[in-house]
Every structure is written in structure tokens, then in C-alpha cells.
Amino acid sequence: MAKIQTPQPVRGTQDMFGETEERFAHVVATFERVRRLYGFKGLQLPVIEPTAVFSRSLGEATDVVSKEMYSFEDRGGDSITLRPEFTAGIARAYLTNGWQQYAPMKLSVHGPLFRYERPQKGRYRQFHQIDAEIIGAAEPAADVELLVMADQLLKELGIDDGVTLQLNTLGDTPSRDAWRAALVSYFNDHRDVLSEDSLARLEKNPLRILDSKDPDDRGIAYAAPKIDDFLSAEASDFFAAVTAGLDAAGVAWTRNAALVRGLDYYRHTAFEFVTDRLGAQGTVLGGGRYDGLIENLGGPATPAVGWAAGIERLAMLVEQPVLDKLGPAVILSGQEAASAAVKLVAAIRRESINAELIYKGSVNKLFDKLKAKGYPIILTVAQKENAIFLNLRRLSNDIYSIDLEEKLMQVFRSKLKADDADADDHGIRPNFRIALIDT
């Protein structure tokens, strides 16, 4: 009989457990706490969307749409795509659910995304992001709020050290159009030294040449026309208001004139939080203002700004997360005491104290293992004849362990009551005995 081969995970995916999962969960929990501080409402979106949601928002010529999306035709003949990013799906939901009446809306979401990329450190084909958006707010104050929120998130994660906020303006529509025309003219004059990728971008996405990694492109891009030479007074005032707001909030930033967004619906602010601690994958959080996106999806002209960050990348930067402190380990000594042990553990957990129920094993052998794992208290539950016996061993004299012991005693007194009048003044049945054992 042929040996059955064990299926392997799909390339570019990962199973998270232990410290990896703890770091991941820490990032998500911190994001959830911070977004509530800023009044952002949580959002759940489908993992699949009509392919047109992304082809119309990201553009057919982008690498994401042309090379990286997981798209397929379903049994009804519709083209479906596993979402490669959040913003387009949020914009679709905003339109199809008629949320315009609630504008401005502050929305947040997190979850898995999918792109067919070459897997590398911090980059997967199934990856996860946190995302925050403000839709329906044209004021620079919305940009400031999102940036201050991102800065606080990184600080609360403890990864702000060595992370720099890079900021640029793409101008308003007239400014951007004039700049784009100047760039096309300039790069056309240097076609002979541009890389193949940049030559392709010159026709459809010339701003992306500015952030090319090719050494020859970078030399040409350095001397290219700058957006500042084309900014309208309104666009200049907008950027000045954003930077003034950041200064007032105490958020450090630096100007990066090469920071761009290639798609035409991007306006005004573009930003990235970058670090040198992740090698080539230096961006940990990025975003910008996309006032033209919702119009591209068939809606009215709607201002919007947002950012996203990869959870895996953030998790790589955080220090060892602070884990929940252990509660008592409850050892069941004999199956005849099973009901009492289950009742005891349920009562403990209802008081928001975590407890671990150990179903089998020698009490003496388990004791050393549980002590080594750091359990502050070990409870042994046993039944002898008609009486239930609890042995409580506190293994440490620190404040946490002493307080935990007192909380457990309160649980025993208030929760484990008799169903009749035989309970004593402490609410403990006559056939229920507690022994505090010094160790």
C-alpha cells in the first residue's frame, strides 16, 4: 500500500502558534484599543469581491491587478477576486450600503489579504493588515488625525524607536496634472537610460518612476521636476495645515519629495512610516489621501484618506509581548471529584480569573512541572467518601500571588454554596473542606 503523503501548507502561507501568534494577537489587540480611542468604528468585509472592484480602483496596469491578484471565475460565470487590499472594498461597501448619509465616517478593519508575490521575510501570499480610513472629510485635520493615530499605535506597540514618518504632498488635481505632464516630458528626454519597467510606467504611471529602485532610474529621478514647483496656492495651504497639525501634536516628520502614489485618484498627502530594521521591506505603515477613488467606482466625488499596516511586519518589530499572568492550576485527583472540579473552575473563570484544569496525571509529578511553568497557585481537588477536599498551595509570596489567593477564597465562599440550609456562615457546605498548604 502506497504511503499517504501529508499535505503541506501552500507556499507563502504560515501556521501561527506560540510566540508568533502572541505577537500577532498583541498587534491586533493594541490596534483595536487605539482605534476605539479615536472613535473609529469596526468593519467586517467579504474576503471575496467582484474583480472589477480592484481592476477599476487599482488600475489594470498595476502589478497588483496584472500579476498578483488571485482571481477566478465562479460557477455562475462571474469573475471573483480574493481581496489584495482593503481600501477598494471599503469604498465599495460605502457606496452599495448608502453610507454617504453618515459621512464623515471613521472606519477600521483588519484581516487577511492575498497577493501572488515572491515570499520573503515579512511578506506572504496570505498576509494580514490593519486599516483605518476617514471617508467624507476634505479637511487637512482628517489627515492629521489619522497620522497622530498611527503614531500613537506605533508608540503603544513599543516600536516607534527607529521609525520615521516620511511625508509628501501630491497636490490637488491641477497641481498633479501639471507635474505629471512635466515628468512625462522630462523622462521622455531620458528614455535611453530608463529601465524597461520605467519605460512601461512612462506611458501609464509616470509618477512611479520616482520611487524606482533601479540605480540608473534613481539618478534620473533625482533631478526630475519637483511637485513644489507646480503646487497651487490651495494645495500648498493644505500641506502646510497638515504639517502644522503634526507639529502641534508632537509628531515628528521628515519631507520625502520622492514619495508618490502612482494612481490618479490620489491627492494631497502621501505618507509612510519607515524603519531600517526590516531590511528591504522598510515600510511598516503607509497611506494617503485618495479623493478620486469613490468616483472611479461610480459614486459621487468623495474625499477620503486612510492608511494600512502589515500585521506580520509589525509583529516582527514588537518586543516579547506581555502575556496574561497565569491563574491557578487545578488538578483533578480522581475522577470521582470531576463534577466538583468542573464547578470550581467554572466559578473561578466567571470572576475573570484564568484557570487551567488538569484532568490526569500524578499529583506529585504534575506539581514540579506546573511550578516550573510559573503557576502561582496549585489547587488539588479530591473526593474522600462524601466530602470534597481542596488543597491550595501558593508557590510565591509576591503581591500578585497573595492577592490571587484571597480572590480565590472569595470565590469559594460566594460561589460554592449549598443548595440547602446546611451551608455555614461562609457559604461552604459541611462536606466541603479547604486546606491551605504552605510550600
Q: Do residue 294 and residue 413 come from a single domain?
A: no
Tell me whether strands 387-394 and 432-437 are parallel, antiparallel or unpaired: parallel
Q: Do residue 166 and residue 259 come from a single domain?
A: yes
Widest pairwise Cα distance in the chain:
97
Task: For residue 73, give the H/E element and its range.
Answer: strand 70-73
Q: Do residue 266 and residue 392 come from a single domain?
A: no
Q: Do residue 239 and residue 294 come from a single domain?
A: yes
Place of cell 449549598: 418
280 lies in which domain range? 19-172+232-317
Q: Is residue 66 part of a domain?
A: yes
Count CB atoms within 10 A of the CB of residue 46.
Answer: 12
Chain segment 46-102, per-residue pLDDT in tens: 999 999 999 888 877 677 888 899 999 999 999 999 999 999 999 999 999 999 999
Q: Do residue 63 and residue 141 come from a single domain?
A: yes
Range 349-353, long-range pairs (CB < 8 A, 24+ positions):
350/415, 351/407, 351/411, 351/415, 353/327, 353/328, 353/404, 353/407, 353/408, 353/411
3-class DSSP state of 262: coil
- Annotated binding site for L-histidine, which residues? 85-87, 115, 129, 133, 261, 265-266
> Among the three residues 286, 317, 348, which one is the final residue of a domain in this structure?
317
> At residue 380, what are phi and psi to the nearest 5 degrees?
-110, 125
Q: Is residue 287 part of a domain?
A: yes
> How distant, in Å, are the alpha carbons of 135, 169, 301, 402 from that of 59?
21, 21, 18, 62
Q: Do residue 262 and residue 139 come from a single domain?
A: yes
Q: Is residue 311 part of a domain?
A: yes
pLDDT for the residue 76: 95
Tell me whether strands 329-333 and 41-42 are parallel, antiparallel or unpaired: unpaired
- The number of folded domains in the chain is 2
Q: Do residue 269 and residue 415 come from a single domain?
A: no
pLDDT for the residue 282: 86
Three-state helix/strand/coil letters over 309-364: EEHHHHHHHCCCCCCCCCCCEEEEECHHHHHHHHHHHHHHHHCCCCCEEECCCCHH
Count CB atoms within 10 A of the CB of residue 38.
Answer: 16
Q: Do residue 279 and residue 353 come from a single domain?
A: no
Phi-psi region of 398 (alpha: psi -120 to 50; beta: other; left: phi over 0): beta
pLDDT by residue for the chain (439 residues), tens digit each?
688 999 999 999 999 998 899 999 999 999 999 999 999 999 999 999 999 999 888 877 677 888 899 999 999 999 999 999 999 999 999 999 999 999 999 999 999 999 998 888 778 999 999 999 999 999 999 999 999 999 999 999 999 888 999 999 999 999 999 999 999 999 999 888 888 888 888 887 888 888 888 888 888 888 899 999 999 999 999 999 999 999 999 999 999 988 888 777 889 999 999 998 776 558 999 999 999 899 989 999 999 999 999 999 999 999 876 677 889 999 888 777 788 888 888 888 988 899 999 887 777 788 888 888 889 999 888 888 777 888 888 888 889 888 988 888 888 877 655 433 444 444 444 444 555 554 4
**Rounded Cα–Cα distance for residues 300 and 107 (Å):** 19
Chain segment 131-185, per-residue pLDDT in tens: 999 999 999 999 999 999 999 999 999 998 889 999 999 999 999 999 999 999 9
> Among the three residues 317, 352, 381, which one is the final residue of a domain in this structure?
317
Q: Is residue 224 part of a domain?
A: no
pLDDT for the residue 427: 40
DSSP code, position 224: S
Q: At what angle do helices 173-188 and 196-204 cross, to 10 degrees?
A: 140
Q: Do residue 93 and residue 122 come from a single domain?
A: yes
pLDDT for the residue 217: 85
- For residue 56, the number of C-alpha atoms closer than 13 Å in the C-beta half-sphere is 17
Q: Is residue 53 part of a domain?
A: yes
> Among the three residues 291, 317, 343, which one is the final residue of a domain in this structure?
317
Tell me whether strands 283-289 and 105-114 are parallel, antiparallel or unpaired: unpaired
Q: Do residue 309 and residue 376 come from a single domain?
A: no
DSSP code, position 301: -
Q: Is residue 157 part of a domain?
A: yes
pLDDT for the residue 412: 80
pLDDT for the residue 419: 38
CATH number, domain at 386?
A: 3.40.50.800
Task: For residue 436, give the H/E element and its range.
Answer: strand 432-437
Place of cell 472569595: 410
Q: Is residue 279 part of a domain?
A: yes
> At residue 297, what are phi and psi to the nearest 5 degrees?
-95, 10
**Rounded Cα–Cα distance for residues 382 and 376 (Å):** 20
Residue 250, C-beta contacts closer than 8 angstroms, at least 6 positions apart: none
Residue 419, C-beta contacts closer than 8 angstroms, at least 6 positions apart: none
Q: Is residue 192 part of a domain?
A: no
Q: Do residue 402 and residue 377 come from a single domain?
A: yes
Q: Do residue 97 and residue 37 come from a single domain?
A: yes
Are 290 and 119 in contact by the 8 Å Cβ rule? The answer is no
**pTM greater than 0.75:** yes
CATH number, domain at 43?
A: 3.30.930.10
**Rounded Cα–Cα distance for residues 121 and 279 (Å):** 9
Closest CA to 43 of 86, 101, 100, 1: 86
